[in-house]
Copies of this chain bind each other. A is one copy, B any other.
Amino acid sequence: MTKNKIKEVACKQLAESGYERATLSSIAKEVGIKTPSIYAFYKNKEDLFMAVYKDLLEDYYFYITNSVQNITDGTVKEKLYQIIKELCHYHLSQPEKTASYTKLAFVLPPTLNDDVRETFSEMEVVLSELLRDIFSKGIEQEVLKNQPVDDLIASFLCLMDGIFLELIYYQEAKFKRRVEQTWSIYWNGICKKLDE
């Protein structure tokens, strides 16, 4: 379907070149159609990239929530580590989507800004709730130190952000070592040491 191919190419070029340089004409050329044909499917350049963005978020959201929900029976540590793992895997396995996402998140045409921010924080809310469950249970089960769940959530989100940023800058090998180290330190920090 042409409509989807346009969206995919738009996403790819967004990843490579950012919003401004991802020209409708260059997208059209790569799709193999003429520029005005895009307007048969999308009202606007903005419209097209909002669609791209919504897809990106949805895709990411399904991936992460699915991953988390599929490991209902692991320990708290396993679950959290799994989230990090899935975060890394998601971005490493489809770097184009991540690059695309990044461009949209950092440099936006002013008109798109509000819409994007909105879906962006919706996303975070969902993730926060998932984490809240895990952390609450962790404290209940006395696997984690007893501390405000909101803070735990915040610190975990911060960890994810840090990893996300590194993921953009470093090569895969270098990056993976860093993740392991950071995770281990993170875990040793929040867990309740029973046996020490």
Residues on A facing B (Cβ under 8 Å): 17-21, 102-103, 106-110, 151, 154-155, 157-166, 168, 177-179, 181-182, 184-190, 193, 195-196
Contacts and interface: CB of A to CB of B under 8 A. Distances in A.
Given A106-B106, A107-B18, A188-B188, A182 B195 contact: no
Contacts of A186: 185-186, 189
A186 B158 CA distance: 11
25 contacts: A17-B110, A18-B20, A18-B108, A19-B20, A19-B107, A20-B20, A20-B21, A21-B109, A102-B106, A103-B106, A103-B107, A154-B181, A155-B178, A157-B166, A157-B178, A158-B163, A158-B166, A161-B166, A162-B163, A165-B165, A186-B186, A188-B189, A189-B189, A195-B195, A195-B196
Contacts of A102: 106
A168 B161 CA distance: 11
Contact of A155 (B107, B158, B185): B185
A88 B21 CA distance: 32
A160 B162 CA distance: 7
A135 to B, nearest CB: 13
